[in-house]
Structure 1
């Protein structure tokens, strides 16, 4: 009768320590606090671990013991791919990851797809805190994140009393754009904006929707444009405003076409983002309308592609937003929530604006 083969039990922290004749703390430090060991001792521990098939300390067990996940959650109202393809999101992610790297913590993307009501990804996320990136004020994922017993920092929107936040003065920043166009003599202006709510809507935006927008950044940018136009005697309710749910060059192109259908005689087109503005320029070029000779175009954000093109825009420090959000969340000295950081912006007149032809 064949004897059953004996399999070697899996290596554990204790068995590895016994094999090496060191304490379990020494083995643990080789993984979690390598600076506490000499390079020679750590190499000896890691080589023995490789030989014995020891995978390292169980991260879940360590999490239960320390009550720390060792990661920050980035909550965004998009699919995860948005964070690596949208230029603004990429810049913000760069700043946030720099702070995470310095603090030696990981970063977990927690996407909240538009229209989704499933908050399980938020409630189950093993994170020590959330950075909320540009969410509408009625998103259930936002509510779920703020209900967790961990700190949160909101970047851009929404503005919630008692919650740390970092952003810019969108209303004042975009007002400079409108005042620039008005000073050049433009009075027939069109506007294309990013989504104003969670439900998919594409098309002209009535005043009521502008004022009740769930995305506070877009609401404030439209308010800034309205105030500048009204102050110059240009009736805001006569200006066509078109919304696009998707934030792509293609969306900007179709939005520009819709604005031009509503008022073929406009001499200036304001986009509330550079991405949409570049789409508008694509549409005008397709129609053989020259920028800025026939139609002036402006954007907002100061993304590299737009600045290199020479777009008239507002530059905002997006990388610094990410760094400040991470710093606020990870600061060991954080005591009270409700701090607000407002970063400066810079108006960049470019080659896409000029006085209207008469």
Structure 2
């Protein structure tokens, strides 16, 4: 048979192969210019990019690369708040900053909100693993994350999940620092204003039997830790008011409810800085002097709280994000993450002494009318 004439192989103008053929390098070298730039010299990378620009080539197709490598290059962050909260709440912003430093991957924020469930957002997320940031026990989104079979790191709550990789603080022990400051100052009429205790929306007073049934572990642990200190000091009945939303307007409403019903209170312990700043807003509107008439403590040590001079408990929110990110990255890079023994990281906390605690006033505080917010 006559030998077939060999014709030059034609390559598509928009492929790695055509660029490699033009420059006399391998396809792997061209791919590395986009995916592993540290493997090439700056001069060679620029030659590759210049050749690519001539062909209108913008880089390897991310979908094809994901199918080939079985990696999405992203981490899913399941938030128990509305999406805007991740950018407005300082503690959440700090956590995400620390997380971004350590994962070295894109972050896909999956807001599930405090009032609605949508596990499909988790099952449909194109990610390599999940950070579950403070969700209730038996939350359907946590269940959906585990069912994906991808690495999962739980941050803050729920606690005590069998086989879970966990990063957080000892919330009950941390809040005792603020509770003892109030006791040491001489306060014996103390109320508690807490962020969301129940996954089902609820605002108003909470008694101790109801507290035992709270399914949000972080706030429950903080309230219990404070009550342990108050009980040991012989403090009488401690009124507790919860607010489902963790914002200053909601907290100011909770402060009004608490202080109007209990004018004998000389101090309010808050389980978040947002709650405490809402109390300060209420007091400013009602003409209540802090700390002359009312002492207030918070929790988180956000920049806004420090600027307000709030006495608060500092937890390492950036460090928490870094620890969770490093743990998840290690699991993603593991050959068999399902065989990894459960890890737990408990981070330290400390008290930040501010200007919102002093010795208790004498006598009951007269109730005041506070103008409604528009």
CA contact (8 A) 2:12 2:18 kept: no
Q: Deviations over 1:73-115 (max 9, x none)?
A: 11111122211110100010110111133xxx22111111223
Residue 268 of structure 1: aligned partner: 267
Distance 1:176 1:128 in 2: 38
Which 5+ residue runs of structure 2 have no aligned equivalent?
1-10, 363-374
Residues 1:136 and 2:136 aligned together:
yes
TM superposition shift of 1:142: 1.1
- 1:326 corresponds in structure 2 to 325
TM-aligned CA deviation for residue 30 of structure 1:
1.3
* Residues 227-279 of structure 1: per-residue CA shift (max 9 Å, x gap): 111111223xx222111111111111111000012111210011111111011
Q: TM-score, normalized by length of structure 2?
A: 0.88
Determine the structure 2 residue equivalent to 1:348.
352
Write out the 4+ residue segments of structure 1 that deviate beyond 4 Å after TM superposition: 332-335
Output the CA distance in 2 between the equivalents of 1:274 and 1:115.
22
Q: Distance in 2 between matches of 1:184 and 1:195?
A: 28
Deviation at 1:337, TM superposition (A): 3.7
SS in 2 for 1:78: coil
Give deviations 1:18-74, integer Å, cap 9, x for gaps: 343432212211111122222222111111111111121111111111111111111
Residue aligning to 2:186: 185
> How far apart in 2 are the matches of 1:184 and 1:351?
13
1:76 to 70, 76, 79: 79
1:14 equivalent in structure 2: 17
Separation (CA, whole Å) in 2 of partners of 1:95 and 1:38: 31
Displacement of 1:291 in angstroms is 0.5
Q: Is the 8 A contact 1:315 1:348 kept in 2?
A: yes
Give the total of aligned pairs: 346
Secondary structure in structure 2 of the residue aligned to 1:258: helix
Aligned to 1:4: none
SS of corresponding position for 1:299: strand
Structure 1: unaligned runs, 5 residues or longer? 1-7
The SS at the match of 1:228 is helix
Please name the residue that 2:208 is paired with. Answer: 207
Task: Report how far residue 184 of structure 1 moved.
Answer: 1.8
**1:212/1:219 contact within 8 Å kept:** no
**Higher mean Cα deviation, 18-27 or 168-177?**
18-27
- The aligned runs of 1:1-358 (5 Å cut-off) are 11-101=14-104, 105-159=105-159, 160-235=161-236, 238-331=237-330, 332=333, 336-358=340-362
Give the C-alpha shift of residue 9 in structure 1.
6.7
1:10 Cα shift?
A: 6.4
- Tell me, in whole angstroms, the C-alpha distance in 2 between the residues paired with 1:195 and 1:263: 21
- Give the Cα–Cα distance (whole angstroms) in 2 for the partners of residues 82 and 154 of structure 1: 19
Q: Is the 8 A contact 2:177 2:350 kept in 1?
A: no
Deviation track 1:109-140 (CA, whole Å, cap 9, x = no partner) reads 11112232321111111111111111111321
Over 3 Å counting, the alpha-carbon distance change for 1:136 and 1:10 in structure 2 is farther
Q: Distance in 1 between matches of 2:22 and 2:91?
A: 52
- Alignment check: 8 A CA contact 1:76 1:133 kept: yes
Cα distance in 2 for partners of 1:202, 1:116 equals 17
8 Å Cα contact 2:297-2:356 kept in structure 1: yes
* TM-score, normalising length: structure 1: 0.92
C-alpha RMSD of matched pairs (Å) = 1.7
Deviations 1:140-189 (A, max 9, x none): 11111122211111111111121111111110111222222122221111
Q: Which moved more, 1:131-140 or 1:86-95?
A: 131-140
Q: Distance in 2 between matches of 1:258 and 1:88?
A: 26
